[in-house]
Structure 1
Amino acid sequence: MAGESDTLTCKNLPNLFSSFVDTFVDFSVSGLFLPPSPSNSDPNTPLPTFNPSPDRLIAVGDIHGDFEKCKESLLLSGIIDATGNWSGGSSTVVQIGDVLDRGSDEIKILYFLERLKRQADKSGGKIITMNGNHEIMNIDGDFRFITADSLKEFSNWAFWYNVGNSMKALFSGNVDLPKDPFRGVPVEFKGIRKEFHEGFRARIAALQPNGPLSTRFLANNVTVLVMGESVFVHGGLLANHVNYGLERINKEVRDWINGVRGDLWRDIGRGRNSVVWLRRFSHELAESCDCEALEHVLTTIPGAKRMIMGHTIQGKGINGACEGKAIRIDVGMSKGCINGLPEVLEIAKNSEARVLTANPAYQDSDGARVVRIGGRAGLGVLLEDDRRKQFQVKA
């Protein structure tokens, strides 16, 4: 007669097998084994919109499907070691969005960042990922900036995802199979070469609202983040966005990605004045930035002294405008953009900031391009002096 423990094991067998299949599929897709999820990961927990300043904060700009540049950016600040594992201790990393599009390693980067999140959690550190306009576009079915190689990556994901579900079906009746994300997705697409149809279909299935990859990797991204004195947003914030509510924006984007909300407020994800598309504070020419509007926005967010943005490529590297109140960190690092050399922004708790760069023409002995507290906003204004000299900071 079987004992109670044997009976319990038998009852758990389908779920254990399902977990094994998920691990098998993850590895087949990404080549990575993911550590267990944090025990406190509750999908109903409000997203972390307002946070205190960490002792050390690293801000990473747009990645756009370039896995090697992603790793190089994190290596610059010691966040990962040479093997690609977390080595950042209690540091906090903010990736400001636009992992998707223009490159061929989008899914690989999503898995990589997820693994680092779990490793960081065990070390007292944190990785916070954000939604950019390209995440919003893909969930919305706008694939203008995809590549042929990325479609191959999604086709590969679809193959292993279906293999996993077929394996789980062996326990039909005992394992809850996910809803088929391919149901209702067209098989052919007019105007698209036939060899790409499979990849298009897989991409739609994966990233649509309530899709397997969108809910898993993008739904819990924040769209707006306040970290001490710094406001992070992909494009920018205007007064009407703050009045609408920053926590409300994060909640509505998550609900939309999870398929429990029909559509987004236009000023979050569509149009040039939306949260993820705005460029009024990120023009490469500092004098073209709307400093008056930025100052007004910052005064409406308690404790905010600066806005840190991606979205607009800064050919001269990470820089500031509006007396350091606007910090622009998209350096176009992806080969699908301008193939820029990676740079990251580092902020200490006392607001001392520096830019860590892969460009040897700018590096000092510590691998930094800027080391300065100055300026009322805590960062000063980063000004280009000479292509072969360090940037100077106007206090």
Structure 2
Amino acid sequence: MLTLCLSATGALAAGHERSPAATETTPTPSASAFDDGPYLRYTSDRIEARWVCDGKPVERSFPALRWPVVVPAQCGHAEPISVRAPAEAETEVSPQGVERIAALSDVHGQYELMVQLLQSNGIVDRKLRWRYGRGHLVIAGDVFDRGPKVNQALWLLYGLEQQARAAGGAVHLLLGNHEVMVLANDLRYVNEGYQRNAGLLGRSYVELYGPDTVLGRWLRSKSVIGQVNDLLFVHGGIAASYFESGLSRAQINQRYRDSLGTPKAVWQHDPALLPLYNGKTSPIWYRGYFIDPALTQDQVDAIAARLGVGRIVVGHTSHKRIGSYFDGRVIAIDSSIKNGQYGELLLIERGKFSRGTPEGKRLPLTAGEPLSD
């Protein structure tokens, strides 16, 4: 029998700010319909499942007497889902001695391109099963918004996490500003098709990822900042002001989990939450490595030293390709996958850094180009 103790993590309301320095642009809504789902919800003894197939809602339920519960494919995501027990908050660990690491960010619903990168670079096989062994895959935020296959991307990562763990590896999904925005009901960038499908299911879009849902509970267990070997991964970046709170990384991650969904009207007046969500220097929004002309090599070196890491790996700020900045201290991995045309995967294998292309080529990691705007 499944017993749940789910508590809200704050009111769900719009209001997360747009970063003043952001290069975000409002997407052109897609008018085309698409199959969607599953959306899975925990109840006391069952898993409730919903899909939109051929423009019509489909509902089924499955007994949850023991884990996992297998939910067969209906439409939308093409594979069965092996549903695990409700996720608990991640334990703060910094794995060391990992010989193979792959990282990408800002997928933004471009499922096919993400799959191509993972397959071509040996992370998953033709059947989308984990084949990276003891390697670690890091997703540095922003799976949500813009594209039409966010749900498929999330379910793929949900399944790969379990498969990687069984193989001695790991999948680390970090939250970016778009995950935070959606969980706070800021839906400015949600593909129009998802809004329509949510209406067909009789739910708001944010309710489809509520704390009583499988993916919603899983997302709320995740971190914003993670470390593997001497690499720190974070969606936006770490500004010097990050250290003013005096909190550890574990405490910062937990403060994010506890406050997800807090509306701007609350966090902008709360000195404990403002550093987590403000659009200039917070870890999910910061772009200073690329747009602050006053930021020096010594300052970035000092930030890394205080973090106790050799390099800081970030997404969020779009580039044409993966590149290194500040003499390799910062690596930018948002390679504009969101456009659905091209993207790259960062690979660190036995100490060698390279860029994996959609065709599986291994290109050298080189100095990044300055942003054009």
Alignment check: 8 A CA contact 2:69 2:83 kept: no
Change over 3 Å in CA distance of 1:149–1:313 after alignment to 2 = same
Hey, what does 2:278 align to over in structure 1? 270
Matches within 5 A, 1:34-113: 34-35=81-82, 37=84, 43=88, 46-113=90-157
Alignment check: 8 A CA contact 1:235 1:275 kept: yes
CA distance in 1, matches of 2:99, 2:276: 30
Hey, what does 2:40 align to over in structure 1? none
The structure in which a higher percent of residues are helix is: 1
CA distance in 2, matches of 1:69, 1:140: 27
Hey, what does 1:352 align to over in structure 2? 352
Hey, what does 1:329 align to over in structure 2? 333
Hey, what does 2:251 align to over in structure 1? 248
Hey, what does 1:124 align to over in structure 2? 168
- 1:223 paired with 2:227, answer no
Alignment check: 8 A CA contact 2:314 2:333 kept: yes
CA drift of 1:26 comes to: 7.0
The higher relative CO (CA closer than 8 Å, separation ≥ 6) is in 2
Change over 3 Å in CA distance of 1:353–1:123 after alignment to 2 = same
Matches within 5 A, 1:362-373: 367-370=361-364
Hey, what does 1:382 align to over in structure 2? 367
CA drift of 1:293 comes to: 2.9
**Of the two, which has the highest radius of gyration?**
1
Q: TM-score, normalised by structure 2?
A: 0.72
Cα-to-partner distance string for 1:201-228 (whole Å, 9 max, x where unaligned)? 42121235x3525533311221001211
SS class of match (2:340): coil
CA distance in 2, matches of 1:214, 1:91: 24
Alignment check: 8 A CA contact 2:87 2:217 kept: no
CA distance in 1, matches of 2:322, 2:343: 10
Alignment check: 8 A CA contact 2:69 2:84 kept: no
CA drift of 1:151 comes to: 2.2
Hey, what does 2:318 align to over in structure 1? 313
AA aligned to 1:137 is M
Hey, what does 2:63 align to over in structure 1? 18
Q: TM-score, normalised by structure 1?
A: 0.68
SS class of match (2:222): coil
SS class of match (2:250): helix
CA distance in 1, matches of 2:230, 2:312: 9
AA aligned to 1:298 is A
Hey, what does 2:344 align to over in structure 1? 343
Change over 3 Å in CA distance of 1:15–1:110 after alignment to 2 = closer
Alignment check: 8 A CA contact 2:113 2:358 kept: no
What are structure 2's unaligned runs of at least 5 residues? 1-44, 48-61
CA distance in 1, matches of 2:138, 2:71: 29
Change over 3 Å in CA distance of 1:71–1:295 after alignment to 2 = same
Change over 3 Å in CA distance of 1:23–1:94 after alignment to 2 = same
CA distance in 1, matches of 2:100, 2:128: 20
Alignment check: 8 A CA contact 2:87 2:218 kept: no
Hey, what does 2:4 align to over in structure 1? none
CA drift of 1:24 comes to: 3.6
CA distance in 2, matches of 1:272, 1:120: 35
CA distance in 2, matches of 1:269, 1:25: 38
Hey, what does 2:208 align to over in structure 1? 206
CA drift of 1:125 comes to: 1.6
SS class of match (1:382): coil
Alignment check: 8 A CA contact 1:234 1:276 kept: yes
Change over 3 Å in CA distance of 1:340–1:320 after alignment to 2 = farther
What are structure 1's unaligned runs of at least 5 residues? 1-13, 160-197, 360-365, 372-380, 385-395
CA distance in 2, matches of 1:106, 1:83: 19
The structure in which a higher percent of residues are strand is: 2
Change over 3 Å in CA distance of 1:256–1:250 after alignment to 2 = same
CA distance in 1, matches of 2:333, 2:197: 28
Identity over the aligned pairs, expressed in percent?
Answer: 22
CA distance in 1, matches of 2:191, 2:344: 24
Change over 3 Å in CA distance of 1:213–1:266 after alignment to 2 = farther
Hey, what does 1:294 align to over in structure 2? 300
